[in-house]
């Protein structure tokens, strides 16, 4: 599952400071399922899948069995199991893996409990949930609160405001923009990666390509500033706009200190394998 593997890379990126198609969520991976969904998926699997995915002698079988045991323990109130499931499902939310509203809310509940116990990774996941409005209300103030509690330097907001030329924005707007800018690159990278086949031309397969976009607020929108040859900009732009529409504008500053619209430069890379 993409989500489980993506979680670690996101947490590294967040501690240092990244919906399949974004407009339509993909079918959830195995480790994004609740117990009822997992039981149904296993029951309806083909004989080949039963042998090579769900069998105890397969590579995936023991992992799936362990995941299912963790689901059971989480339902029974085991706090460590709940934290683990919250992390799994948060990674699924990051990747846009078709998470229901109920599962998003459950993940948020599990992560909130872990955050109250001082789990900084859970705090960063909750920040993302509040930016996306996944399982909790979309709220940049709450997103920033969780980021700040997770260990960001006290002057991180002021430094970001100076870099973005937002020193005249209100403290609340500066904090909102900080949360927005911290979460957006991760979402951009994780959600475009599965779409590489649509975005990267055949002749560029296997090459790491780079692009830069400029993001504006009020309303949120994106423009492609530069893209390597091999990137289909006509295919990329609608995906960018879909992500921008997913993120709320409320609370973000609309213009820089000079009165011009915000222009946030975000680089990213993409590779079609």
pLDDT in tens, the chain (273 residues): 444 434 433 343 333 232 222 333 345 789 999 999 999 999 999 999 988 899 989 989 999 999 999 999 999 999 999 999 999 999 999 888 789 999 999 999 999 999 999 999 999 999 999 999 999 999 999 999 999 999 999 899 999 999 999 999 999 999 999 999 999 988 888 889 889 999 999 999 999 999 999 999 999 999 999 999 999 999 999 999 999 988 999 999 999 999 999 999 999 999 999
Please name the helix (run of DSSP H) or strand (run of DSSP E) that holds residue 266, with its range, or none: strand 264-271
Q: How far is it, in rounded angstroms, from Cα 233 to Cα 224?
A: 8
pLDDT in the model for residue 98: 80
Quickly tell me which residue has 């930016």 as its tokens.
131
Both tokens of 23, joined, read 């407009």
pLDDT of res. 27: 59
Q: Report cis status (omega within 30 of 0) of the bond before 122.
A: no
Residues 130 and 37: beta-carbon distance below 8 Å: no
Kindly state the DSSP code that residue 134 receives in the 8-state scheme: S
Query: Taken in order 137, 90, 215, 263, is the CA torsion positive or negative?
Result: positive
- pLDDT the model gives residue 62: 94
CA 18, 176, 125, 245 dihedral sign is: negative
Domains of the chain, residue spans = 2-149, 184-271
pLDDT value at residue 21: 28
**Helices and strands (DSSP H and E) totals, the chain:** 12, 3
Question: What is the DSSP code (8-state) at residue 28?
Answer: P
| Residue 53 · residue 88 · CB < 8 Å | no
- pTM of structure: 0.83
Could you tell me which residues come within 8 angstroms of residue 230 by beta carbon, excluding any fewer than 6 positions away? 200, 201, 203, 204, 207, 209
């Amino acid at each position: 599952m993409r989500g489980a593997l993506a979680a670690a890379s996101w947490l590294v990126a967040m501690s240092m400071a990244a919906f399949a198609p974004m407009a339509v969520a993909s079918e959830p991976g195995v480790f994004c399922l609740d117990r009822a969904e997992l039981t149904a998926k296993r029951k309806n699997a083909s004989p080949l899948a039963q042998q090579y995915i769900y069998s105890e002698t397969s590579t995936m079988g023991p992992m799936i069995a362990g995941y299912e045991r963790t689901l059971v323990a989480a339902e029974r109130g085991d706090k460590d199991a709940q934290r683990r499931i919250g992390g799994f499902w948060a990674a699924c939310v990051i990747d846009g893996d078709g998470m229901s509203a109920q599962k998003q809310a459950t993940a948020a509940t599990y992560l909130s409990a872990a955050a109250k116990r001082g789990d900084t990774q859970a705090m960063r996941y909750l920040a993302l949930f509040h930016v996306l409005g996944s399982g909790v209300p979309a709220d940049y103030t709450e997103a920033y609160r969780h980021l700040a509690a997770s260990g960001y330097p006290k002057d991180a907001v002021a430094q970001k405001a100076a870099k973005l030329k937002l020193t005249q924005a209100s403290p609340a707007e500066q904090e909102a923009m900080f949360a927005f800018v911290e979460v957006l690159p991760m979402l951009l990278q994780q959600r475009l990666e599965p779409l590489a086949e649509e975005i990267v031309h055949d002749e560029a397969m296997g090459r790491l390509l780079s692009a830069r976009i400029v993001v504006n607020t009020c309303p949120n929108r994106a423009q492609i500033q530069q893209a390597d040859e091999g990137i289909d900009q006509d295919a990329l732009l609608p995906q960018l706009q879909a992500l921008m529409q997913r993120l709320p504008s409320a609370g973000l500053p609309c213009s820089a200190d000079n009165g011009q619209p915000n222009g946030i430069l975000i680089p990213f890379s993409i590779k079609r394998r």
